[in-house]
């Protein structure tokens, strides 16, 4: 199947996950894509195709090596996630191709414009075909582009038996976007010794560093009385929320880059009586990460000291989400070297960059499966400005195939 047609079909299936759900998967509709992938894997001749009752898809491409070569070749895995972000709608996605992008503004519809004035890296795509939506939904390249690329790789390997490779394990996971995708993966069933997630951005990106991450919840209780009699009595919970935020360093996603960490207020809800805030806290450096959490705690302590003796109170709860996978990848740097070589062999300049986020691979690395991340060709994830470079989409399966080739005999 043509990979653009394949991706378009996947993109039109709504698989948005739900961070408020305790179910696994968080939304039943993720099974719609999972069942399609199972059908396609079976039809192309993959082995041990299996869909778990919590929406994990597994498949295997058997080795075609001699027993002696097999012994020297690690079992290699590729993973991508089926869900899309809760941050923007995934219902009724209408993919549209912009042919031979000319460097100008791209009207999306409904008054929204994808513009290089706002997203200057669009200029690197001049001459390429891009896929966008109509401005009402995200596109879903995160990570249905990765799924399409892995499926294309699988089809190629299964229809080219003369190309030598070891055992290839495939898995597609739910709920990555809400941080629970890696936990449900059955590593024994998956069977890989090492793996790659295909869940990155611009083509050539190779990532083995990611943020240390925590979520921070702030619960604020105020003292509310009639505003006409409020002097020296009212303590407005919403104003305490504003004060709390002002006590954090001005290090936000909008003014940080590279290895710079941040505090990100994702949502706030409240009134004079009570207010709730939710933050995500990120830093690549573990020591700086711990200090960020301490600053978060001290902001609450400072306010509580000021309002001591009243019924008002600020309470924070911090929960670590995941850690930088670099420490788990460094003993297996051949994973990076082989991916680097595969990109070069396919005429693509590799770029090693830190992930300003997290991947299933980070959590899997800490579960004992070293798992760096590879590019897909998508950009502007989690919103209506998301787009996919179709030239990159078409090139990535060859990179994955080449990695499989280079893995033959590489056991360390």
- What residues are annotated to the active site? 83, 176
Q: Which is it for strands 168-173 and 106-109: parallel, antiparallel or unpaired?
A: unpaired
Tokens of 162: 């003369």
222 Cβ contact list (under 8 Å, min separation 6): 234, 235, 236, 237, 238, 240, 272, 273, 274, 275, 312
- E strands within 284-404? 313-322, 351-352, 373-374, 378-379, 387-389
Q: Which is it for strands 112-114 and 106-109: parallel, antiparallel or unpaired?
A: antiparallel
What's the rounded Cα separation, in Å, for the pair 182 and 175? Answer: 8
What's the rounded Cα separation, in Å, for the pair 311 and 333? Answer: 55
Rounded to 5 degrees, φ, ψ at 397 are -55, -35
What's the rounded Cα separation, in Å, for the pair 79 and 198? Answer: 6
- Placement of tokens 């880059």 in the chain: 257
In Å, how far from its chain's centre is CA 277?
A: 23
Cα–Cα separations (whole angstroms), residue 410 to 71, 166, 361, 368: 10, 10, 21, 19
In eight-state DSSP terms, residue 210 is B
| Burial label, 278 (beta-carbon count in 10 A; 0-12, 13-18, 19+) | middle
Strand-pair partners of 276: 219, 269
Asked if residue 276 lies in contact with residue 217, where contact means CB atoms within 8 angstroms, the answer is yes
Rounded to 5 degrees, φ, ψ at 156 are -65, -45
No. of helices (H) and no. of strands (E), the chain: 11, 18
């Amino acid at each position: 199947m043509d990979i653009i047609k394949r991706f378009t079909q996947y993109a039109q299936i709504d698989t948005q996950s739900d961070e408020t759900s305790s179910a696994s998967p968080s939304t039943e509709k993720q099974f719609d894509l999972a069942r399609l992938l199972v059908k396609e894997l079976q039809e192309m001749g993959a082995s041990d195709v299996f869909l778990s009752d919590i929406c994990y898809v597994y498949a295997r491409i058997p080795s075609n090596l001699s027993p002696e070569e097999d012994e020297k070749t690690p079992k290699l895995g590729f993973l991508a996630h089926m869900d899309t972000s809760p941050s923007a709608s995934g219902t009724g996605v209408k993919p549209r191709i912009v042919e031979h992008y000319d460097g100008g503004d791209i009207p999306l519809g409904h008054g929204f414009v994808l513009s290089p004035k706002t997203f200057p890296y669009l200029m690197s795509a001049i001459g390429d075909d891009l896929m966008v939506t109509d401005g009402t939904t995200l596109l879903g390249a995160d990570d249905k582009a990765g799924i399409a690329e892995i499926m294309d790789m699988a089809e190629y390997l299964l229809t080219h038996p003369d190309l030598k490779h070891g055992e290839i394990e495939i898995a597609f996971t739910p709920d990555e976007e809400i941080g629970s995708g890696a936990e449900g993966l059955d590593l024994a069933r998956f069977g890989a010794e090492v793996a790659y997630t295909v869940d990155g951005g611009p083509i050539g990106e190779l990532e083995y560093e990611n943020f240390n991450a925590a979520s921070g919840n702030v619960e604020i209780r105020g003292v509310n009385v009639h505003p006409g009699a409020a002097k020296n009595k009212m303590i407005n919970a919403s104003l305490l929320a504003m004060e709390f935020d002002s006590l954090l360093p001005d290090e936000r996603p909008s003014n940080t880059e590279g290895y710079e960490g941040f505090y990100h207020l994702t949502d706030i809800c409240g009134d004079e009586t009570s207010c709730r805030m939710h933050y995500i806290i990120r830093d690549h450096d573990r020591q700086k990460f711990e200090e960020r959490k301490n600053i978060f705690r001290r902001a609450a302590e400072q306010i509580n000291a000021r309002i001591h003796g009243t019924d008002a109170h600020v309470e924070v709860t911090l929960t670590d989400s995941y850690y930088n996978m670099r420490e788990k990848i460094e003993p297996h740097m051949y994973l990076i070297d082989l991916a680097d070589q595969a990109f070069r062999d396919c005429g693509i300049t590799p770029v090693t960059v830190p992930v300003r986020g997290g991947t299933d691979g980070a959590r899997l690395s800490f579960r004992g499966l070293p798992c760096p991340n590879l590019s897909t060709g998508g950009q502007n994830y989690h919103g209506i400005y998301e787009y996919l470079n179709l030239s990159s989409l078409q090139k990535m399966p060859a990179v994955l195939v080449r990695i499989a080739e280079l893995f033959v005999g590489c056991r360390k």
